[in-house]
């Protein structure tokens, strides 16, 4: 539970609407106390992360058509053992992914005054810019800024999106939705359903894009960029150690 001093500092940071990038641009050499996490927990998580032998399972879409049956079986095995998998050689071109990453960076690296008009914690907005969605609930804040946008099925209007990354967000969404349909075909078949079953339910129609930005930190050993967490309404994966 935050005390009065911490709440004051949290509100001052939030009201600046400049995020973590604003702190970096101000030239700070020590991170503010609201970002400092428990040292023992940081050391424990660091040790687990760097000593883990777990390897995220992957499904290679390069040969999805020629070896579809094999991929379906592998998908089923990964789903039963892990509950999720990494997609390799998907249908989204590298140039589009790189442009999307660059677009996220361009937004966060704009002048602060250009970003502030998009700063909000109102989740009904199509486009959101903020730092730490749980800023007032977490024991300590993480060292990151975020943009979030609901891109499909109801596309935002041009005026709702920042010009600096608007075009690539639209292009990226088209590829993601297209690939989503392919992926849900594979998932349907791995469940022994008709290929179009999950798509007919609208499973591939929604696209929520979240772009995280991690500015250089003067004391990275004291904080997290993204700490262990659970997102309401989303799948949370826990792997032993």
Sketch the domain layout of the chain as residue ranges. 4-222
pLDDT of 74 reads 64
- Tell me what pLDDT residue 31 has: 97
pTM of structure: 0.85
**Distance from C-alpha of 163 to C-alpha of 130, rounded to nearest angstrom:** 18
Closest to 155 in 3D by CA, of 204, 115, 200, 207:
207
pLDDT at residue 241 greater than cutoff 60 = no
Q: What is the pLDDT of residues 214-229, one digit of tens each?
A: 999 999 999 999 877 6
pLDDT of residue 69: 66
Q: Is pLDDT at 2 greater than 70 in this prediction?
A: no
Task: Give residue-wise pLDDT tens across range 27-53.
Answer: 999 999 999 999 888 888 777 666 666
DSSP of 47-106: HHHHH------EEEGGGTTTTHHHHHHHHHHHHHHTS--EEES-SS-HHHHHHHHHHHHH
* Domain 4-222, CATH: 2.60.120.330
Residues 6+ apart with CB under 8 A from 140: 34, 35, 36, 37, 38, 223
Tens digit of each residue's pLDDT (9 = 90 or more) over 57-77: 777 777 666 677 666 666 666
Q: Report whether 46 contacts 25 (CB < 8 A).
A: no
Give the model's pLDDT for residue 239: 66
Residues 139-172 pLDDT 10s: 999 999 999 999 988 889 999 999 999 999 999 9
- pLDDT band of 236, cuts 50, 70, 90: low
Report the alpha-carbon angle 55-57-63, nearest 5.
135
């Amino acid at each position: 539970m935050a005390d009065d001093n911490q709440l004051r500092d949290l509100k001052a940071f939030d009201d600046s609407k400049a995020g973590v990038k604003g702190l970096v641009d101000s030239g700070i050499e020590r991170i503010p106390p609201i970002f400092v996490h428990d040292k023992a927990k940081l050391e424990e998580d660091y040790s687990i992360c760097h000593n883990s032998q777990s390897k995220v399972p992957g499904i290679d879409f390069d040969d999805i058509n020629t070896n579809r049956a094999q991929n379906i079986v592998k998908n089923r095995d990964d789903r039963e053992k892990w509950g999720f998998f990494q997609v390799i050689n998907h249908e989204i071109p590298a140039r589009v992914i790189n442009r999307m990453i660059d677009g996220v960076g361009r937004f966060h690296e704009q002048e602060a005054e250009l970003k502030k008009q998009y700063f909000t914690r109102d989740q009904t907005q199509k486009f959101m810019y903020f730092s730490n969605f749980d800023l007032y609930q977490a024991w300590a804040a993480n060292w990151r800024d975020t943009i979030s946008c609901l891109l499909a099925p109801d596309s935002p209007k041009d005026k709702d999106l920042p010009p600096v990354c608007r075009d690539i967000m639209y292009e990226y969404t088209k590829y993601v939705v297209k690939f989503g349909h392919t992926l849900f075909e594979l998932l349907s078949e791995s469940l022994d359903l008709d290929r179009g079953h999950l798509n007919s339910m609208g499973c591939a129609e929604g696209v929520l894009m979240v772009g995280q930005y991690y500015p250089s930190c003067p004391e990275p050993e004291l904080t997290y960029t993204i700490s262990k967490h659970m997102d309401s309404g989303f799948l949370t994966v826990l792997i032993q150690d």
